[in-house]
Amino acid sequence: MTLRLLLLDVAGGRPQGKSIPELGLVMPKRLFSELFFRLKRHCTGWTGRPVRWLPAGALVWLLLSSAGLPARQAARAGEQEPSGTPSTAAGGVPTYTVPSGTEVFLRLKTPVSTTSSHLNEPVEASTERAVEVNGEVSIPLGAVLSGRIARLIPSSSPTDRARLLLQFNSLKVPGQAAVPLTCHVKEVDNAREKVLADGTIQGVLASELPVTLLNSAIAKIQKRTGGTQQTQQGGGTMFGSPDTSINYPVGTEFSVVLDKPLEISGRFQPEFARQIPAALEASVMQVLAQAPRRVKSRKGNEGGPANLVLVGSRQEIDAAFVKAGWTAAKDQDANSLWKTFEAVIKGKGYDAAPMSTLYLYGHPEDMAFEKMLNTFTHRHHLRIWKAPTPAPDGRPVWLVVANRDNGFDIRPGVVSHSVDPLVDLERAKVGADLGMTGLVAAEQLVSVSNPARSGLTATGGKWESDGRILVVDLRPQTPVPAP
């Protein structure tokens, strides 16, 4: 991704100097001018008078390169299918032993916060992926974990980290009594916070947020230009104070790991079929036989692999991603670019940020979706292209390139998001998210000739894959006409 932010001559009102690669957006001159004049108004507000040659683009470079934002570890379960021991109880109802160490993916049903929640307050979460034992569903989608807030320590100073511990102790599946379980939080998806070995969620320090560095830079400018007194009377810095509290809304995605084996009884059907119809499979394989395996950048550099296929209308795809909690990326304009700038500076998420343009079939993506939480550093994102050949029933077929940003990649000539090299994990994430919507008829992994198994992204980051592609057959929302 490459966003060009130029050194700004704020007094003269002109962009100056060389372009600086950043964050994957190429800003049109007109939009850059609009964003530039917003920055100019902020700059004159900081000091009380224009500041000549304020290097705003270089400041963003400095913020990103020195903020020390940690990249999350990439190791996560792809298609979750732990080994276990199924047995049959009286009456023919199977009983499953889900082994310790199994990772269970969840979404919060209760908002939690170190500023508004209370110690021992009840908390609930529901499973967003089914857990399987030997190919059979043992913990179904939508099962509810219940527990409490076992530790809640707000940040009391800029050098003190907020801490939060969620302790879940029971699991309730449809038609069954709640069963006890022992587990700990492993990871909060796309979060700026770190999870310790015991499951405690540890907050960030003010010094780790880019806005703190910006405030410090502004203070130095104020000191040199005599604007300090005016800013103090005005109530602080233009971009506000850093927020180090831990705040997770309903729908926040996270995972727990079982500390002890879990025994659970019941017979649960999967939410969708594990094999697409034969005619559809044959049609998709024909599309894939002629489809490019990798995207290209505007300059023609090859990037990541196409790792999913969607079958359905544009409206059905949009409805499925929205229900799964994804957001369509905004087009580039002054407002969306300004919100992106604020997200970077303040260390928060902006889940509709514009995305860079990539090419498949020789043209830009037709759709793009993304998902963030509370930092611009981490996000799930994907791009979608319409294939030239439809399915046998006339529905469109689409190729998808899905990746997960897990930090910033800063090296000579490149300042960009770094991409999780294990792209198959993102393939599984997208399939799981769509699968929980109830809008998927079937999903199937297929193998292709000449598979893309490793390479570099368009900005030079490494990626690897098993080369398979996940086909997602969406349920038609309107009657399909006869072919």
List the one residue out of 333, 373, 343, 422 whose CA is nearest residue 23: 343
What is the C-alpha separation between 403 and 80, in angstroms, rounded? 19
For helices 56-66 and 210-225, angle between their N-to-C axes, nearest 10 degrees: 140
- Look at 182-196, 235-249, 378-392 and tell me which has the smallest mean pLDDT: 235-249
Q: What is the CATH number of the domain that holds 198?
A: 2.40.128.260
Q: Dig out the tokens for 301 from the structure.
A: 């550099």
Question: Do 370 and 388 fall into the same domain?
Answer: yes
pLDDT on residue 213: 64
Number of Cα atoms under 13 Å in the Cβ half of residue 196: 12
- What single-letter DSSP state applies at residue 266? -
Whether 154 maps to a domain, the answer reads yes
Whether 75 maps to a domain, the answer reads no
Whether 21 maps to a domain, the answer reads yes
Please count the structural domains in the chain.
3
Average pLDDT over residues 28-45: 53
Close Cβ partners of 33 (under 8 Å, ≥ 6 residues apart):
15
- Look at 135-149, 402-416, 457-471 and tell me which has the smallest mean pLDDT: 402-416
CA-to-CA dists, residue 238 to 10, 45, 52, 54, 259, angstroms: 16, 7, 18, 15, 47
Mean pLDDT (the chain, rounded):
80
pLDDT on residue 439: 97
Question: Do 200 and 316 fall into the same domain?
Answer: no
Close Cβ partners of 225 (under 8 Å, ≥ 6 residues apart):
47, 48, 49, 51
Where is pLDDT greater, at 175 or 361? Answer: 361
Question: Do 352 and 403 fall into the same domain?
Answer: yes
How much of the chain, in percent, has pLDDT values that exceed 70? 70
Average pLDDT over residues 358-362: 94
Residue 159: pLDDT band with limits 50, 70, 90: confident
Whether 482 maps to a domain, the answer reads no
- CA 186, 469, 369, 456 dihedral sign is positive
What is the C-alpha separation between 421 and 407, in angstroms, rounded? 12
Residue 14: pLDDT band with limits 50, 70, 90: very low
pLDDT tens, position by position, 279-322 = 999 999 999 999 999 999 888 889 999 999 999 999 999 999 99
Question: Do 391 and 464 fall into the same domain?
Answer: yes
Whether 79 maps to a domain, the answer reads no
Close Cβ partners of 292 (under 8 Å, ≥ 6 residues apart):
306, 360, 361
In this structure, the number of other CB atoms found within 10 A of the CB of residue 286 comes to 13
Whether 391 maps to a domain, the answer reads yes
What is the C-alpha separation between 231 and 225, in angstroms, rounded? 12
Question: Do 51 and 119 fall into the same domain?
Answer: no
Question: Do 300 and 384 fall into the same domain?
Answer: yes
pLDDT on residue 267: 87
- What single-letter DSSP state applies at residue 91? G
Where are any strands of DSSP class E within 323-476? 327-328, 359-360, 363-364, 367-371, 378-386, 397-411, 414-419, 440-446, 454-456, 462-464, 469-474
Question: Do 355 and 466 fall into the same domain?
Answer: yes
Question: Do 150 and 250 fall into the same domain?
Answer: yes
pTM (two decimals): 0.77
201: part of which helix (H) or strand (E)?
A: strand 201-202
Domain interval for residue 43: 5-66+210-234
Question: Do 337 and 371 fall into the same domain?
Answer: yes
Residue 184: pLDDT band with limits 50, 70, 90: very high
pLDDT tens, position by position, 233-271 = 333 456 667 789 999 999 999 999 999 999 998 889 999
Whether 95 maps to a domain, the answer reads yes
Whether 78 maps to a domain, the answer reads no
How much of the chain, in percent, has pLDDT values that exceed 90? 54
Question: Do 222 and 329 fall into the same domain?
Answer: no
Q: Is the pLDDT of residue 325 over 90?
A: yes
Question: Do 60 and 90 fall into the same domain?
Answer: no
Question: Do 134 and 261 fall into the same domain?
Answer: yes
pLDDT on residue 296: 93
Q: Dig out the tokens for 293 from the structure.
A: 């395996």
